[in-house]
Amino acid sequence: MIKIAVVGTGLIGMQHLRAMEHTDACQLCALCDVNEEKVKELATQYQVPYFTDYHDMPGQVEADAVILNLPHYLHCESTVFFLEHGMHVLVEKPMANTVEECERMIAAAEKSGKKLAVGHVQRYFRVNSWLKKAVEEERFGKLCMITGKRSINYFAESRPGWFLKKNAAGGGIGMNYGAHALDTLFYITGERKAEIISGYGNLKTDHDIEGHMQYMLKFPSGLSMCQTLSGYNESGHEVVYYFTDGVLKVEDAARLYQYVDSRWVQIAIEEDELIMERQMADFCRFLEGKPSMICDAQCGRDVIAALENVYKI
Ligand SMILES: NC(=O)c1ccc[n+]([C@@H]2O[C@H](COP(=O)([O-])OP(=O)(O)OC[C@H]3O[C@@H](n4cnc5c(N)ncnc54)[C@H](O)[C@@H]3O)[C@@H](O)[C@H]2O)c1
């Protein structure tokens, strides 16, 4: 049984806790959050010790691994800390705010001999696994172009304040949803390094993060991808894949369609609510040295390298 501690019990931390309840290979052994009231209540519920400072955990907790669900600016420091104290790490996406930070995290994993993975959970959506296989098998011919559009109210009052500050979050909608889109692209296509052009800004709020972004990647293979992200209004999430022998569309990362005889025809794929559970089970396989499709540290780093280029240009 793999013993796992969870640090950060906000929105995604709670989802990891629920996923662990359904994963036979692991068990929760400790919790940490600066919000003592919340973490104390959770610790009572799960009957595990709790901490309000993760630096106090090594020596007091016998964990094989830790899941880090913290504001982005803490990803590098906390990951290096736990690796240096002999624990494997699953750090939430994006891996860190800069490539330099990602490389420090990779170096710490190599030095400690412990494993490091990044919680890019969207690769566990069934549509994305289905698409990866279709691309590999050239089921619709060769993949030539992809267009992605995601438009939401990024500045909703429910969003934790740190997400809206550049020094804490590293960026805005690009750092957050752009990172998801890039990992999904890398996962489905196997491509990594691209020429990039981009535009971004914030024309609506006073926050120092971007509220809209558009980038285009062109890979050496000729494949290109254009991604549009708007944080000002809600109008959905759609990705269209143009193959030589067909066009496919994914809506809301759940429903898949093919364009046939002048209309979109749905391809039945049974999506479920178990995306986090699939990632958790796969993280355990990764720790056991078994084949795993989890986002490894190198891919997490390549997502940040692409984003650094998006922000630079
Ligand atoms: N994979 C996904 O689909 C997905 C979805 C949401 C968030 N995320 C990622 O998960 C991470 C956390 O996001 P969230 O939405 O859960 O944020 P959140 O603000 O809801 O949760 C963060 C938690 O960390 C705690 N915290 C802050 N500083 C701490 C510290 N020094 N020590 C211990 N705890 C501390 C906060 O009290 C809070 O409970 C981010 O990297 C985010 O991008 C991923």
Name 50's bridge partners.
31
Measuring from atom 15 of ligand 1, which residue has the nearest CA? 11
What is the DSSP secondary structure assignment for residue 113, as one 8-state letter?
T
Q: Nearest 10 degrees: CA dihedral of 134, 139, 141, 142?
A: 20
Structure-model confidence comparison of residues 55 and 313, the more confident one:
55
Per-residue pLDDT, averaged over 65-82, amounts to 98
Question: How far, in Å, CA of 257 to CA of 255, rounded?
Answer: 7
Yes or no: say if 211 and 205 are a contact pair by the CB < 8 Å rule. Answer: yes
Yes or no: say if 182 and 161 are a contact pair by the CB < 8 Å rule. Answer: no
Q: Phi and psi at residue 107, in whole multiples of 5°?
A: -65, -40
Q: In this predicted model, what pLDDT tens digit does every residue of 208-257 receive, in sequence order? A: 999 999 999 999 999 999 999 999 999 999 999 999 999 999 999 999 99
Torsional class of 280: left (φ above 0), alpha (ψ -120 to 50), beta (otherwise): alpha
Confirm or reject: Cβ of 269 under 6 Å from ligand 1.
no
Q: In this predicted model, what pLDDT tens digit does every residue of 21-58 receive, in sequence order? A: 999 999 999 999 999 999 999 999 999 999 999 999 99
Buried b (16+ CB within 10 A) or exposed e, 123-161: bbbbbbbbbbebbeeeebeebeebbbbbbbebbeeeeee
Q: pLDDT value at position 5?
A: 98
Which amino acid appears at position 80 of this protein?
Answer: V
Comparing CA positions, the residue from 199, 87, 187 lying closest to residue 131 is: 187
Yes or no: say if 284 and 23 are a contact pair by the CB < 8 Å rule. Answer: yes
Q: In this predicted model, what pLDDT tens digit does every residue of 276-297 receive, in sequence order? A: 999 999 999 999 999 999 999 9
Per-residue pLDDT, averaged over 65-80, amounts to 98
Q: Which atom of ligand 1 is nearest to the CA of 91?
A: 41
- CA 8 – ligand 1 centroid, Å: 6
Tell whether the model's pLDDT for residue 313 goes beyond 70: no
Name 122's bridge partners.
none
Confirm or reject: Cβ of 160 under 6 Å from ligand 1.
yes
Domains and CATH numbers, the chain: 2-119 (3.40.50.720), 122-271 (3.30.360.10)
Measuring from atom 7 of ligand 1, which residue has the nearest CA? 12
Q: pLDDT value at position 138?
A: 98
Q: Which of the four pLDDT bands, split at 50, 70 and 90, describes residue 66?
A: very high
Q: pLDDT value at position 271?
A: 79
Question: How far, in Å, CA of 82 to CA of 68, rounded?
Answer: 10
Confirm or reject: Cβ of 97 under 6 Å from ligand 1.
no
pTM here?
Answer: 0.97
Yes or no: say if 188 and 135 are a contact pair by the CB < 8 Å rule. Answer: yes
Q: Where are the alpha helices (DSSP H) in 27-93?
A: 36-46, 75-84
Six token digits for residue 271? 């999506």
Helices 11-21 and 275-287 cross at an angle (nearest 10°) of 70
Question: How far, in Å, CA of 131 to CA of 258, rounded?
Answer: 12
Pocket perturbation via mutation, ligand 1, pick of 54, 69, 118 by most ligand atoms within 8 A of CB: 69
CA distances from 137 to 55, 188, 248 (A): 47, 12, 15
- CA 170 – ligand 1 centroid, Å: 14
Per-residue pLDDT, averaged over 172-179, amounts to 98
Question: How far, in Å, CA of 63 to CA of 284, rounded?
Answer: 13
Comparing CA positions, the residue from 5, 16, 86 lying closest to residue 43 is: 5
Six token digits for residue 237? 């999430």
Q: How many residues does the chain have?
A: 313
| 236-243/224-230 β-pairing | unpaired
Confirm or reject: Cβ of 35 under 6 Å from ligand 1.
yes
Mean of all residue pLDDT scores within the chain: 97
Q: pLDDT value at position 118?
A: 98
Comparing CA positions, the residue from 306, 305, 303, 279 lying closest to residue 293 is: 279
